[in-house]
C-alpha cells in the first residue's frame, strides 16, 4: 500500500468518526435549542392572551394554535409542557405540536389556556442534519484528498527521484551520486545517509572483488607448483608402490583444491553480477554440444538418454553462465545416476527439465541447492554444482525447483 493511500485512509476514518460524533451532538443541541426557543414563544403567547382577555373580556380561539375555555372554579391548576400529535384536516395527517397548557384566574374567572405551535419532528430534523453533515463530510474529504495529493506529489517528489536513482545503482559504478535535493531536512538527511551507504557498498564490493581475485591467483600459483613437483616425483623410476600411492593421493587432492577454488571464485563473480555481457543463446544447440561432451560417461554407465529438445530456443543471457548451467545439470544427472539408468532432457521456450533415475534423496530437498551439501559424503564432488545453478537462475530471474516422482529426480528451470 502506498503512503498516500494509507494517509488518506487514516484521514477518512478519523474524519468520518469525528463527523458522526459531531452530527449526534449537533442533533441534540439543535433539538434542545429549538424546543427552548419554542417554549419561550409559547409563554409569550400566553402572556398576550392573558392581557387580551383582561382588556377585552373576549376569549380568542384559533385552533389548534390557541385553545381557551372557562373551567369550573377550584380546578387543579396544573402546568404542562408536552409534545402532542394533532390531526391536520388540510394535510390529512397528524402533525407534531409543542404545547404549554395551564389554568389561570383572569377577572375572577378560571380559564384553561393551551398555546401550541408546530414542532420539527425528530425524524425530519435527524434527516436534515444527516444530509447536511454528509454533504459537508464528502466535500471535506474530496478537498482533503486533492489537496493532500497535490501537496504529497510536490513534497515527495525528491524522495521518488532518489528512489529512481537508487534503482539504477550498481556496485561497479564508483562515481555514483544522488542528484536530488530537497528543502526538507528529513529528505536531505536521507540522501546524505544513502550516499554514505552506497559509497560503503561500492568500497566493500571492490575490496571483496580484489580479495577473491588475488586469493584465487595466490592459491592457484602454489597449487600449480605443487602439482608440477608431484608430477615430477611420480616419474621417478625407483619409487616404491606405497610412495607412488601417497604422491598420487596428494596430487588428486591438489586438483580438487584447485577446482574448488575456481568454483568458489565463479560463485563470487556470479553473486557480484560480474557477467554483464548478454546475447541471444541458442539453448538447443548448447545442450546438444554438452551432451556430446558427456557421451563417454553416459556409455560407461550404460545410461539411456531420452531427448525432447525443441529447436531454436533462444535465451538472452551470458554465454558462460548458460554453459555453466547446462554442464552442471547434465553432469549432475550423469554423476548421480544408477548403472543402466535413464536421463531425460526436455527443452522448450518456457522451461528446461533434466531428469535422472535414482533412489530418493537421503536429505531434505530444500538443502539440495545449498553450498557444500552433498547427498553422498564419500563423493569427491564439491557440493557446489547446484549452488552455482541456483545463483545463475537468481541472476537471470529464472525459477528453479526440484521434483522427485516415479524414481526420477527432476530439476526444472522456468525461464
Residue ranges of the domains in the chain? 3-145, 187-271, 279-414
Question: Measured between alpha carbons, how far is 116 from 267 in angstroms, rounded to an integer?
Answer: 95
The three cell numbers of residue 156 are: 515527495
Of residues 401 and 186, more confidence is placed in 401
pLDDT bracket for residue 378 (50, 70, 90): very low
Looking at domain 279-414, its CATH architecture is 2-Layer Sandwich (3.30)
Q: Which residue's C-alpha cell is 586469493?
A: 215
**Residue 188, all three cell numbers:** 536531505
Encode pLDDT of 271-294 as tens digits: 666 677 788 989 999 999 889 989
Mind listing the pLDDT tens digit for each residue in 125-166? 667 777 887 788 788 778 877 877 777 777 777 777 888 877
Residue 67 — pLDDT band, cuts 50, 70, 90? confident
CA distance 158 to 229: 63
Rounded to the nearest 10 degrees, how much is the dihedral formed by the CA atoms of 50, 55, 61, 62?
-80
Which DSSP string corresponds to 280-336?
A: EEEHHHHHHHHHHHTHHHHHHTT-EEEEEE-S--EEEE-HHHHHHHHHHHHHHHHHT
Q: Rounded to an integer, what distance in angstroms lies between the CA atom of residue 387 and that of residue 390?
A: 5
Q: Higher confidence at residue 184 or residue 42?
A: 42
Amino acid at each position: 500500500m502506498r503512503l498516500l493511500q494509507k494517509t488518506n485512509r487514516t484521514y477518512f476514518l478519523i474524519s468520518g468518526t469525528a463527523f458522526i460524533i459531531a452530527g449526534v451532538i449537533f442533533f441534540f443541541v439543535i433539538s434542545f435549542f429549538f424546543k427552548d426557543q419554542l417554549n419561550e414563544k409559547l409563554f409569550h403567547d400566553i402572556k398576550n392572551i392573558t392581557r387580551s382577555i383582561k382588556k377585552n373580556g373576549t376569549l380568542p380561539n384559533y385552533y389548534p394554535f390557541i385553545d381557551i375555555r372557562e373551567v369550573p372554579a377550584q380546578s387543579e391548576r396544573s402546568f404542562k409542557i408536552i409534545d402532542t400529535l394533532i390531526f391536520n384536516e388540510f394535510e390529512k395527517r397528524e402533525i407534531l405540536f409543542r404545547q404549554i397548557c395551564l389554568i389561570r384566574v383572569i377577572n375572577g374567572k378560571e380559564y384553561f389556556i393551551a398555546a401550541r405551535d408546530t414542532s420539527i419532528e425528530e425524524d425530519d430534523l435527524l434527516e436534515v442534519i444527516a444530509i447536511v453533515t454528509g454533504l459537508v463530510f464528502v466535500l471535506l474529504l474530496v478537498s482533503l484528498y486533492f489537496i493532500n495529493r497535490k501537496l504529497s506529489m510536490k513534497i515527495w517528489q525528491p524522495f521518488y527521484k532518489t528512489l529512481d536513482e537508487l534503482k539504477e545503482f550498481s556496485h561497479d559504478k564508483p562515481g555514483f551520486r544522488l542528484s536530488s535535493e530537497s528543502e526538507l531536512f528529513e529528505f536531505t538527511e536521507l540522501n546524505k545517509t544513502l550516499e554514505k551507504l552506497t559509497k560503503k557498498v561500492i568500497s566493500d564490493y571492490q575490496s571483496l572483488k580484489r580479495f577473491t581475485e588475488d586469493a584465487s591467483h595466490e592459491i592457484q600459483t602454489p597449487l600449480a607448483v605443487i602439482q608440477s613437483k608431484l608430477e615430477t616425483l611420480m616419474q621417478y623410476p625407483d619409487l616404491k608402490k606405497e610412495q607412488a600411492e601417497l604422491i598420487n593421493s596428494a596430487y588428486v587432492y591438489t586438483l580438487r583444491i584447485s577446482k574448488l577454488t575456481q568454483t568458489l571464485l565463479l560463485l563470487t563473480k556470479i553473486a557480484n553480477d560480474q557477467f554483464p555481457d548478454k546475447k541471444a543463446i541458442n539453448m538447443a544447440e548448447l545442450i546438444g554440444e554438452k551432451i556430446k561432451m558427456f557421451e563417454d560417461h553416459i556409455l560407461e554407465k550404460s545410461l539411456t538418454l531420452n531427448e525432447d529438445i525443441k529447436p531454436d530456443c533462444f535465451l538472452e543471457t551470458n554465454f558462460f553462465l548458460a554453459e555453466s548451467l547446462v554442464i552442471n545439470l547434465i553432469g549432475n544427472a550423469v554423476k548421480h545416476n544408477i548403472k543402466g539408468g535413464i536421463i531425460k532432457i526436455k527443452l522448450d521456450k518456457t522451461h528446461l527439465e533434466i531428469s535422472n533415475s535414482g533412489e530418493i534423496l537421503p536429505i531434505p530437498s530444500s538443502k539440495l541447492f545449498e553450498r557444500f551439501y552433498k547427498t553422498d559424503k564419500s563423493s569427491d564432488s564439491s557440493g557446489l554444482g547446484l549452488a552455482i545453478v541456483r545463483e545463475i537462475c537468481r541472476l537471470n530471474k529464472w525459477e528453479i525447483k526440484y521434483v522427485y516422482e516415479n524414481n526420477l529426480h527432476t530439476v526444472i528451470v522456468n525461464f
